[in-house]
Amino acid sequence: MLESPRTATSGHGPSAPWELRLREDFFSQYGPALLPLPESLETSRLYLALKRSTRYMDEGIREAAQELFSDPAFLASVSLSVLVYFAAWLAPEPLFSKAFAAALTVRLSLLVGVVELGRLAMACLHLHQEAEAATTPQELEAAAERFSKALGGTTLRVLVVVASLGVPQVLPQVPKGGLWTLLSPLRHAPAGGPALESIASVQLVANGSLVVTGVAAGTSATSLCGELATCAMVNGAGGAPGGSSKLSTRYGKPHTRQNPPHNEAIEEELATREAAGHADLRKNKPQVDARTQPVLDPNPAKGVRFRKPDAASVRPDGIRHNTNYVSNSRDMKRELGAFDSLVRSDPKAIHELYLLDGTLVRRYIPPGVSFP
């Protein structure tokens, strides 16, 4: 495979039985392939290029990606994602008529934005085209490198979600913690369930709107409130029956009923910390130090003396850890100001600010404190 892409990696040869089952399961969820399908994914240039691409990924995600892409079944599922799901984004007005794919498209669009999904689809198309055109190992290597450079942590997670949700059994058992957390499935991304299972189709029209038919027949989520969208579905297309989203309250009352993804991000973060042995778990409560003493901003902006971190806890080593989330790009300036206030109030604590998709915006680590 390494020596002769023209002959050995052209996808010739019969598919293994496990691959045939994988294809059937994948097509049942996402629909038929929209790009030419090789006889065998394992011997295709696309498969080999995807496997090589992990060599060139950023250091922060490379190790976890290599763990995932070393599994043949998962890598075959990623290949199918390129040939089936992401290929659908390349039409002038992409249409997702398979219920599962339509529901997943709505979820991902609300989380990462239509533009980001389109960029990932284009990167997948370019990889497929360049891999098919490769006549030497060097050309295949170059295609793999260009593809990896086009990926970020968010888009790689989207790729993992699309490949694994349709056929959950192909997801490798990667050790939890460490770098795996950078590639964990996007929060709130799973499709289906009572919230979105009745969506019939989703179409992206020329002005960047998603037209959803089914429960929300005729509803248009124009531009999805921007690329950092967290807007709720309307007319019963999202949330619990009756049009309202079910909010988790294990760690405290809802952060806000108007922004369910924000609330769920906080709940999930606190659950992760509890599992890691953190103490004094706090959800949207006034800032305190590691001894649970209230702290105030010595240089308050606009008269705001104290802040309420979205998620706060004390690590097993006694260090307070505060985290806030940004739901909308328009609020970034305000959230950065709140972050600076948190740091001024307690410079001995760890402070972080994230987008809802898990992208780190800013982090403060006190001198002498370790952070994995």
**For residue 264, is it within any domain?**
yes
Average pLDDT over residues 26-41: 88
pLDDT tens-digit series, residues 147-161: 998 887 778 888 888
Model-level pTM greater than 0.75? no
Which tops the pLDDT comparison, 34 or 302? Answer: 34
- Select from 157, 183, 209 the last residue of a domain: 183
Regarding whether 292 and 174 lie in a shared domain, the answer is no
In a domain, 313, yes or no: yes
- Between 265 and 229, name the one with better pLDDT: 265
Res 155: pLDDT: 85
For residue 305, the model assigns a pLDDT of 86
The dihedral sign for the CA sequence 34, 1, 40, 149? negative
Instruction: State how far the Cα of 275 lies from the Cα of 251, in Å rounded to an integer.
Output: 13
In this structure, are 123 and 26 located in the same domain? yes
Residue 245 lies in a domain: no
Q: Which residues pair with 219 in a beta bridge?
A: 212
Task: Show the 3-state SS of 164-177.
Answer: HHCCHHHCCCCCCC
Question: What is the biggest distance separating any 2 CA atoms in the chain, rounded to whole angstroms?
Answer: 71
Residue 249 lies in a domain: no
Q: What is the pLDDT of residue 287?
A: 95
Question: What per-residue confidence (pLDDT) applies to 208?
Answer: 67
Residue 240 lies in a domain: no
Is the same domain home to 268 and 354? yes
Same domain, 169 and 72: yes
Q: Which of 166, 183, 200 is the last residue of a domain?
A: 183
28 shares a domain with 150: yes
Q: What is the pLDDT of residues 274-290, one digit of tens each?
A: 988 999 999 999 999 99
Comparing C-alpha atoms, which of 332, 368, 330 is closest to residue 353?
Answer: 332
- In a domain? residue 163: yes
Radius of gyration of the chain (CA): 22
Please check whether residue 303 lies inside any domain of the structure. yes
Q: Residue 102 — very low, low, confident or very high, per pLDDT cuts 50/70/90? A: confident
State the average pLDDT over residues 327-335: 83
Q: What is the CATH number of the domain that holds 352?
A: 3.40.1350
Q: Identify whether residues 27 and 124 lie together within a single domain.
A: yes
Reported as a single tens digit per residue, the pLDDT across 180-207 is 454 555 544 444 443 444 577 888 876 6
Weakest mean pLDDT among 18-22, 71-75, 78-82, 199-203: 199-203
pLDDT value at residue 206: 67
pLDDT-derived band at 53 (thresholds 50, 70, 90) equals very high
pLDDT class for 105, splitting at 50, 70, 90?
A: confident
Total domains in the chain come to: 2
Does 36 share its domain with 151? yes
Using the predicted structure, report yes or no on whether residue 337 has a pLDDT greater than 50.
yes
Q: Does 213 reside within a domain?
A: no
Contact 282, 312 (CB under 8 A): yes
pLDDT on residue 169: 64
Domain range holding 327?
260-364
Residues 149 and 21 reside in one and the same domain: yes
The domain boundary residue, chosen from 142, 159, 183? 183
